[in-house]
Structure 1
Amino acid sequence: MYKTVKRTVAGSAVITVLALPYLGIKTYYLHIAILSLINALLALGLNVIAGYTGQLSLAQAAFFGIGSYTTALLMLQQKISFWLAAPLGIACATLIAILIGIPTLRLKGPYFVISTLGFGEIVRLILLNWESVTRGPNGLPGIPAPDPISLGFTVLAFDTKVAAYYLNLTVLLLVLVVYSNTINSRVGRALRAIRNDQIAAEVMGINLTFYKVLAFAGGAALSGLAGALYAGYIRFISPDTFTLGEAINILVMMVLGGMGTIIGPILGSVIITYLLETMRILADYRLIIYGLLMFIIILYLPSGFAGLLTATGEKIGKFFVASEKPAPVCRGSAKEISEPVESEV
C-alpha cells in the first residue's frame, strides 16, 4: 500500500513538472519556474563541494558570472552559436576553478571560505570595471536566444518562455542522471570519505588534493552551465547579478533543501526562488522577512526539506506497515479449539 502511494505521489509530481506550462499558470509563475531550474543547477554545484566534500565555498556566484559573461560575449562579439558558446563558457569556468582550487583547497576551514569570498569579489570587480569588454555597470543587453534546432520534420525554437522552460528542464534532468551516477560511484564515496574524516581518507589512499579539485571544478562547471542558460534566457546580464548576495542565496538553497542529498538543493531552489521573487513587493521589508524565515526554518529543520520529506515518508511507511500486519494466528488444532473447556470443581 505504501509503495503504491509513494509511486502515485512521485508520478503525479513528474506529470505536473512535465505539463506545467499547460496547466494554465500565469507567465510570471512560469518565469519563476525557469529561474528555479537554473538555480537548481547552482545549488547542485555548491552541493558537490560543500555537501559531499565538506568544503564550504562562496565562489559559486563568480563561476555563475564567468559562464554567463563568456557565453554572452562570444555570442555578441564573435557571433558564435549558443550551442558552441555555452560549452566554452562552462570550460572557462571549470579551468579557472582548477587554477584557483589547486592553491586554495590546501587551506582549511574559514581560511578557504575567505579565499573563495575574495575570489568572488575579484571577479565582480573585474566585471564591473573592465568596461571596454563587459560594459561595466551597464551590462550586456541584446543577448541572442539559443539558436533554433532543426529536426527535419520540425524546428525547435527557444525564444518563448515555454520553450525556455523545457530547455532548462531537459538540461537539469540530464545533469541529474550524471550527478546521481557520479555520487553513487567510487568518486562519490571518496568525496564523502573526505567530508567525514580527511585524515582517515588519506590513510585509506584517497588523493585529497585531486578529489577536492575535482569537486571544486565540477561545482564550477554546473555554475558555468547555469550562467550560460541564464544569459540565453534573460538576454541581459550585469555585474549586479553575480554578487556576494547571490552566493549566499545559493548557499541558503542548498542548506535549506538538505545538503549532501540530491533532491534537497532542487527543493531549496524552488522554495527560495519563489520567496525571493514574490517578496519583491514588500520592498525594504523583504530582506527582513526573508532572514526571519530562514532563521526559523534552519532552527526547526536542521536536515532541510529533504530531511523533512524523508522523516515524513518513514512515518507514513510505518503506519502502512502496522496497518497491513496480519491478524495473530491461534495456536492449537481445530479440535482443541472447538472442544468445550471443562471447569474444575
Structure 2
Amino acid sequence: MTIRESKRLWLACGVGLGWFLLLLWPLLGIKPDTLEFAATFKVFGYVAVAAVFIMFFYQVKEAGYLDAVGRPAKQATNALGRAYDKAPTWLLLGIVLAAAIVYPLVTGRYAHDVAISVLIYVCLGLGLNIVIGLAGLLDLGYIAFYGVGAYTYAILSINYGLSFWLCLPIAAVIAAIAGCIIGYPTLRMRGDYLAIVTLGFGEIVRLILNNWMSLTNGPNGILSIPRPELFGYEFRSLSSMYYIILGLAVVTILAVYRLNYSRIGRAWEAIREDETAAELMGVNTFLLKLLAYAMGATFAGFAGAFFAARMKFVGPESFTFLESAMVLAMVILGGMGSIPGVILGVLALVALPELFREFELYRMLVFGGAMTLMMLVRPAGIWPAKRVGRRSEEAD
C-alpha cells in the first residue's frame, strides 16, 4: 500500500468519525434541562479506538506482515468450503431441520417469541423475493397482502366460526386475488413508476382496513381471534405455535425453491434481466408478472393468517409502509433471488437486534451503521444468488 493510499484511508476514517460524533452528540448530549458532553465523548472514545485499531490492522494486513498467520487460516477456510461442497444437501438440510425442531425444547418463552417472528418474516421475505428477486418488480406495498390474509382469518373465524386450517388456504387465495387486482392495472409500468403505484395501492388497502367499520371494526381492530385447534387440541403456548409457523416456513421454502428452478422461474429471471428480450422470445411477460404478484401474495396470506391467530388481535397499524420497507430490506440485505440469503437477511434484521436489546440506546445506531457498511462491502447481499450461465461481459 502506497503512502498516498494510506493517507486517503486515514482521511476517510477521520471524516467518518467526525460525522459519527455529529450524529451521536444530539442523541446523548441534548437533555431537557442542560447540554452534556461526557457521555458523548465516552462512547465516541470507544468507537474511535476501535476504528483506529481496525484501520491499523487493515494496513498491516495489506502490507503483508500477517501472511504467515493468514495463509494457514485461508487454507483451513478453503478446506471447510470443500467439505461443505462435498457434503450431501439432504444431510445439511436434515441437520438444520432437526435443530429447528429441537429448538423450543431447549429455549425459553422469549426465545420462542423471537423465533416465531423470524419465521413469519421468512415467509414474507421469500414471498417478496418472488416479486423482486426473481421477477425484478419493485413492490413497496407488499405488506398489504399480509394484512389481507390476517383480516381474512379474523373475519371468517369471528363471524362464521371457521377453523384456522380451513381459513389458511382461503386467506392465501384471497391474498392472491388481491395481488391480481392490484397487479393488473400496475404491471404495465416499469421501474420507479411501478414502485410508486404499488406504494399507493398498499396505502389504499391500509386505509380500507382503517375505515371500513362494519367489516374490519376500523382502527379498533378485531379482538378475541381464536387460536388454531387440531383434533381437540388448542395451540395455546408459544412453543406449539412455533411448530405451526415452522411448518408454514418449510412449505414456503420448498414451494419457492421449486418455483425458482421451474420453467416459470426461468421465465421470471428472463423478465428480470431483460423484459423486452424475454417478450421477443415468446414469454408472456404480463401474465407471468401477474403470476409473480399472485404467488408472492399467497405466502403473505399464509403469514398473515398465522399472525392473526398468534396475536389474537389485528389492527391496521400492524400493516404500515414501514413493515414493507423492513421486508424489502431483508430481501436486499440477504441477496435478491437467494433463498438462504433471504433467511440470513431475516436473521440479521430480526434476531440480531434482539441480542443487543440491553444496549437499547445505541443498538439502532449500530444497526444502521452495520447496514450501510454491509451495502458498501457486499452490495449483492450476504448470500447472493448464483447466476445460471454467464454473460459475455462477465467473461471479459
Instruction: Quickly name the TM-score band, shorter chain normalised.
Output: 0.7 to 0.9
Q: Secondary structure at the match of 1:306?
A: coil
Rounded to whole Å, the distance in 1 between the matches of 2:206 and 2:364 is: 22
Aligned to 1:36: 118
Aligned to 1:183: 260
The percent of aligned pairs where both chains have the same amino acid is 39
Aligned to 1:103: 185
Long gaps (5+) in structure 1: 311-345
Aligned to 1:70: 152
Asked if the contact 2:336/2:384 (under 8 Å) is kept, the reply is: no
Give the CA deviation at 1:287.
4.5
**Higher Cα Rg, which structure:** 1
Task: Verify: 1:79 aligned to 2:150, yes or no.
Answer: no
Task: Verify: 1:118 aligned to 2:200, yes or no.
Answer: yes
Within 5 Å, give how 1:126-205 maps onto structure 2: 126-147=208-229, 149-150=230-231, 156-205=233-282
Residues 280 and 111 (structure 1 numbering): CA distance in 2 closer, same or farther, change over 3 Å?
Answer: farther
Aligned to 2:136: 54
Rounded to whole Å, the distance in 2 between the matches of 1:79 and 1:123 is: 25
TM-score of the superposed pair, with normalisation by structure 1:
0.82
Rounded to whole Å, the distance in 2 between the matches of 1:274 and 1:135 is: 33
Name which of structure 1's ranges 42-51 and 270-279 shifts more when overlaid on structure 2.
270-279
Query: What amino acid is the match of 1:15?
Result: A
Task: Verify: 1:94 aligned to 2:164, yes or no.
Answer: no
Asked if the contact 1:33/1:270 (under 8 Å) is kept, the reply is: no
Give the CA deviation at 1:10.
5.3
Q: Secondary structure at the match of 2:227?
A: coil
Asked if the contact 1:35/1:273 (under 8 Å) is kept, the reply is: yes
Asked if the contact 2:126/2:253 (under 8 Å) is kept, the reply is: no
| CA displacement 1:134-165 (0-9 Å, x = unmatched) | 22222222111012x23xxxx65422111111
Task: Verify: 1:20 aligned to 2:103, yes or no.
Answer: yes
Aligned to 1:314: none
Query: What amino acid is the match of 1:13?
Result: V
Give the CA deviation at 1:15.
2.5
Rounded to whole Å, the distance in 1 between the matches of 2:358 and 2:314 is: 22
Asked if the contact 2:226/2:309 (under 8 Å) is kept, the reply is: yes
Alignment RMSD (CA, Å): 2.2
Rounded to whole Å, the distance in 1 between the matches of 2:326 and 2:357 is: 15
Aligned to 2:331: 254
Task: Verify: 1:271 aligned to 2:354, yes or no.
Answer: no
Q: Secondary structure at the match of 1:159?
A: coil
Matched positions, count: 303
Long gaps (5+) in structure 2: 1-78, 387-396
Asked if the contact 1:86/1:225 (under 8 Å) is kept, the reply is: yes
Query: What amino acid is the match of 2:264?
Result: V
Rounded to whole Å, the distance in 1 between the matches of 2:359 and 2:220 is: 26
| CA displacement 1:92-150 (0-9 Å, x = unmatched) | 11111112211100001000000010011111111122233222222222111012x23
Asked if the contact 1:76/1:143 (under 8 Å) is kept, the reply is: yes
Rounded to whole Å, the distance in 1 between the matches of 2:364 and 2:207 is: 24
Aligned to 1:300: 377
Give the CA deviation at 1:305.
1.9
Residues 11 and 245 (structure 1 numbering): CA distance in 2 closer, same or farther, change over 3 Å?
Answer: same
Query: What amino acid is the match of 1:19?
Result: V
Query: What amino acid is the match of 1:113?
Result: A
Asked if the contact 2:171/2:302 (under 8 Å) is kept, the reply is: yes
| CA displacement 1:154-203 (0-9 Å, x = unmatched) | x6542211111111111211222222112101101000000011111011
Aligned to 1:45: 127
Query: What amino acid is the match of 1:114?
Result: I
RCO greater where, 1 or 2, for CA within 8 Å and sep 6 or more?
A: 1
Give the CA deviation at 1:244.
0.5
TM-score of the superposed pair, with normalisation by structure 2:
0.72
